[in-house]
Structure 1
Amino acid sequence: MSQFRNVVVVFNPAAQTGRLAHLEPNLKDELHATFGSVRFHCTEYKGHARELAMELGAEVDLVLAVGGDGTVHEVGTGLVEVGSRVPMGILPLGSGNDFARALKMPMEWKEAISALSTGTLRTVDTGYSRWKEEGKTRECRFINALGVGFDAFCAVIAPKYKGWPFGIGYTVSILVALKSWISSGATVWNLSNGKEPIFSGRMMFTTIGNAQDSGGGYSINPKALVSDGRVDACVVENCSIMRSLSLLPATREGKHLTMKEVNYHQLEKMLIDTDRGLPIHADGEVQSLEARSIEVSVVANSLRVIVPKSAPEVL
């Protein structure tokens, strides 16, 4: 029997384009056998997982996010928003599962349940962003990564290709986006100690990572650690479509940092000033299409998670 006695399960049956719904009976059986009595909640609309985490997070020993990166985003940010110290566990059943990989979770669901039942508690960082949009200040939190520019434009397009076989949907969305994307003039500032410019020019995109992977396995921030008190910013200058096509496979393997268009920084706080409004996403969830003056900062030691006993000390 698991060390956790009071578990809430937040299950997104719409993950993997609805293909998870048939797993619900088997999941319930396995979770009850492992954790004993669990409260099982199916999400019904966007934002529901976040509401459940905020409402129930203070009452239980563990909140288990069952789904993909969107479910992890909602559950994790909900717990952080209310200052809960209840840990989040991840049962990775989505298309990307980027943050689950950062925590070294098994990708097979029965193995993941077993790993969670005997896992260990860790405290990790999360991220926070605020920006200007139509004269108002907006904000969001993120667990895994925040993207600005082309990265977020791909997230706008990606739902059209979600569920494509072999996990190629996000790659297809990148290729489609390349045809119409226009880079923006931008200045990126390091605000960790004062205000230091670290990039100025035509920016294709900036991906700010708490973890290494985003977009379903693209290692855009290969030096990122989830508990180092920093975020990693990969700023990519404007480049031709042909050059972009060489950048794509390099980011898949995390081998792009030596390319001349890539600027890489590790910092606690940053600001992106642009000459026009840009799209931004948090953990693949589109937050804005017209964001300006985008501040991003790390929120150190803000989320408790369960990782396998075999996970390395440094994640």
Structure 2
Amino acid sequence: MKKAMFIWNPSSGKEKAADYKDFAEKTLIEMGYEADTRETTGPGDATHFAEEACENSYDLVVAMGGDGTINEAVSGLAEKQHEPLFGLVPIGTVNDFARALGISLDPEEAIEGLKTGREKRVDIGKVGDRYFMNILAIGEIAESTYEVDAEQKTKLGAFAYFVEGVKAVASDEVTTFVIEHDHGRWEGEAKLVLVALTNSVGGFEKLAPEALTDDGLLHLYIVENAALPAFARMATALVRGKFEKDPAVQAIHTTRVSIRTSEPLSCNIDGDEGSTTPFDIEIMPSHIRAIVPGETD
């Protein structure tokens, strides 16, 4: 019998993940899998479980949780000799990876979609010994998201990130960056640097409208230091899908990025704190065997 590992985070989805656990297990059994359920209790658990699934040649790994849980599961699957299929059930605050793959944000529909989905190989990024599927962000705005705790996310959802981001924009602090990429080098003061893999970042599906999950590219956006009104203008451009056209934004599409800063800064990787500068980022094309919605007539 085929083996599937179901990894779920009980604190995701405003702590409603338990409502869908039994349905997910039942669905996997109906699909002909022997279901092995693993509940996360702390950071790193989903990575360890996914690694175990690779070591024991599981056929399928399904992760249910927010972007942090999904990132951990993908990290456990990365660069392994055995490559299980990967399915995800979004039940977090933002759910960027699910949005980018066209997976329903309704957990029950996403679980049902496992039955009819098809395989698609998708890119991931790597920085040091960490991996990401959506976004790497660096700068004061990115660091402000660390101020959002689990209680705020449960009560306020994505608005909690917005509140902390506005505080950072209003600050006078700036950082000097030296950024090298396929096409050259950029040096200057910036409020925020983003390296995106998908079109959905922070719930905004138009930040990088040209980004595809399998295009083999890192989409680099440098937000130069600007006054508060310029950020209001950029927010409007973001909603309209014209973020990279803003005069304060440098948009570069590349396969590698090297970042150095005047002061050490930690980056935000798929919503969680990551490496500290300096560091190099690379694309790992077509690396994960994801289950995405099947073709429609």
TM-score (norm 2): 0.90
Listed one character per residue, the Cα deviations across residues 65-104 of structure 1 (whole Å, up to 9, x for unaligned) are 1011011100111100434311210111111110111111
> Which amino acid in 2 is paired with 1:248?
A
User: What CA distance in whole angstroms lies between the structure 2 residues aligned with 1:172 and 1:143?
Assistant: 24
User: What CA distance in whole angstroms lies between the structure 2 residues aligned with 1:311 and 1:182?
Assistant: 49
Listed one character per residue, the Cα deviations across residues 186-236 of structure 1 (whole Å, up to 9, x for unaligned) are 12111x37xx21x22111111111111122336432221111111110111
Match of 2:259 among 259, 269, 272: 272
2:296 is equivalent to residue 306 of structure 1? no
User: What CA distance in whole angstroms lies between the structure 2 residues aligned with 1:177 and 1:116?
Assistant: 40
2:237 is equivalent to residue 240 of structure 1? no
How do 1:152-231 residues align onto structure 2 when only pairs under 5 Å count? 152-159=142-149, 161-165=152-156, 167-180=158-171, 182-190=173-181, 192=182, 196-197=184-185, 199-217=186-204, 219-231=206-218
Match of 1:71 in 2: 69
User: What CA distance in whole angstroms lies between the structure 1 residues aligned with 2:29 and 2:140?
Assistant: 43
CA shift in 2, pair 1:166/1:127, >3 Å: closer
Listed one character per residue, the Cα deviations across residues 236-278 of structure 1 (whole Å, up to 9, x for unaligned) are 1011123223323432443222111101011011112211111
Offset of 1:118 from its aligned partner? Answer: 1.5
Deviating above 6 A after TM superposition, structure 1's stretches of 4 or more consecutive aligned residues are none
User: What CA distance in whole angstroms lies between the structure 1 residues aligned with 2:296 and 2:36?
Assistant: 27
- 3-state secondary structure, aligned to 1:6: strand
CA shift in 2, pair 1:273/1:166, >3 Å: closer
Match of 1:20 in 2: 17
Q: CA RMSD in A?
A: 2.3
Match of 1:135 in 2: none
CA shift in 2, pair 1:88/1:221, >3 Å: same
Match of 2:41 among 40, 44, 47: 44
CA shift in 2, pair 1:163/1:126, >3 Å: same
Listed one character per residue, the Cα deviations across residues 128-158 of structure 1 (whole Å, up to 9, x for unaligned) are 113xxxxxxxx42112111111342133123
User: What CA distance in whole angstroms lies between the structure 2 residues aligned with 1:63 and 1:26?
Assistant: 16
Match of 2:137 in 1: 147
Q: Give unpaired runs (5+ residues) of structure 1.
A: 131-138
TM-score (norm 1): 0.86
> Which amino acid in 1 is paired with 2:222?
V
User: What CA distance in whole angstroms lies between the structure 1 residues aligned with 2:172 and 2:85?
Assistant: 39
Offset of 1:30 from its aligned partner? Answer: 4.5
Match of 1:136 in 2: none
User: What CA distance in whole angstroms lies between the structure 2 residues aligned with 1:124 and 1:225?
Assistant: 9
User: What CA distance in whole angstroms lies between the structure 2 residues aligned with 1:159 and 1:166?
Assistant: 11
Q: Is the 8 A contact 1:268 1:298 kept in 2?
A: yes
> Which amino acid in 1 is paired with 2:259?
I
Offset of 1:39 from its aligned partner? Answer: 1.3
Q: Is the 8 A contact 1:103 1:311 kept in 2?
A: no
User: What CA distance in whole angstroms lies between the structure 1 residues aligned with 2:296 and 2:196?
Assistant: 20
- Percent sequence identity is 26
